[in-house]
Amino acid sequence: MRASEYYSTLQDAYDAALDGDTIQSRIAVFNNDVNADQDISMVFDGGYNCNYSDITGTTAFNGNMTISSGTVTIGNYVFGN
């Protein structure tokens, strides 16, 4: 298991992801775009509380997500603008 790291954008977290990784997000609002272009399978899992011990809500994503390669599974996110 890799050590947890914190990223300021979902794109930064995605760019650092390896095949099989899960990116956990707190209850927050993200306004940046994500371009998923790596040939990997990964998960965006949102809605975590401040210490990442439980999912207690959803994460809001107000950008564009483009998936051009690999597989992305998304849970506990709300998409909108």
11 pLDDT exceeds 60?
A: yes
74 pLDDT exceeds 70?
A: yes
Q: Which of 20, 30, 11 has the alpha carbon at shortest distance from 77?
A: 30
The span from the first CA to the last CA of the chain, in angstroms, equals: 35
Residue 4's pLDDT is 78
Determine if the pTM surpasses 0.85: yes
pLDDT (tens digit per residue) in 21-70: 999 999 999 999 999 999 999 999 999 999 999 999 999 999 999 999 99
